[in-house]
Amino acid sequence: MELRKLGKSEIMASAICLGTWSIGGGSWWGASDDKESIRAIQASIDGGISFIDTAPAYGFGHSEEILGKAIKGIRDKVVISTKCGLWWGGEEGEPFFELEGYDVRRSLQPSTIRRELEASLKRLGTDYIDLYITHWPEVGDSPTPIAETMSCLMDLKKEGKIKAIGASNVSVEEIREYSRHGQLDTIQERYTMLDRHLEPEYVALVE
């Protein structure tokens, strides 16, 4: 399996990443078999995939929990990507959606980021995250400035709790603002051979 460097970080990850949204099950994907999910993750690792992406919102923590069980004892073989910014643990942030009894909000405040991270670390059974991605931008009348969000994420890097920083569902200007305040290593957007709408602006950012 080809390995590629994640941005300016020192992390080398497989060119193919295993996504685990469906493993979370729930209303989006329906029932899932946890034992089969664990076997699928481990088979992917055996096949050379070291890069695995998840998020707290995938099954409201369930995807992270299953991934944690699958990599128990082999943490050093995987590069874990998870996210922050979709929050259901309090009143902070702007309402985004309600599902399965959860009131999900967009929040990239330092206080909620830290609480989300600690919950993810516990579910994943690890003491650090390789790549930590902001899942969605915060919206509303007074969203948290990107400078404050990045300051928190850079502090988490210094503390050793995360190794690299990414952003998802962001505009070109938001990407530039992230980069003005720290080291942004990855951008996670929809981009395929069939959907290349990002090329005119986004690809130019990394050239």
* Residues known to be catalytic: 58
Cα-to-chain-centroid distance, residue 70: 18
Q: How many helices (H) and strands (E) does the chain have?
A: 7, 11
Cα(184)–Cα(207) distance, rounded to whole angstroms?
A: 15
Collect all residues with Cβ–Cβ distance below 8 Å to 124 and sequence separation of at least 6: 54, 64, 65, 67, 68, 71, 80, 82
> DSSP letter at 112?
H
User: β-strand 94-99 against 102-106: which pairing, if any?
Assistant: antiparallel
Let me know: does 162 contact 129? Beta carbons within 8 Å: yes
- Bin 182: left if φ > 0, else alpha if -120 < ψ < 50, else beta: left
Let me know: does 112 contact 86? Beta carbons within 8 Å: no
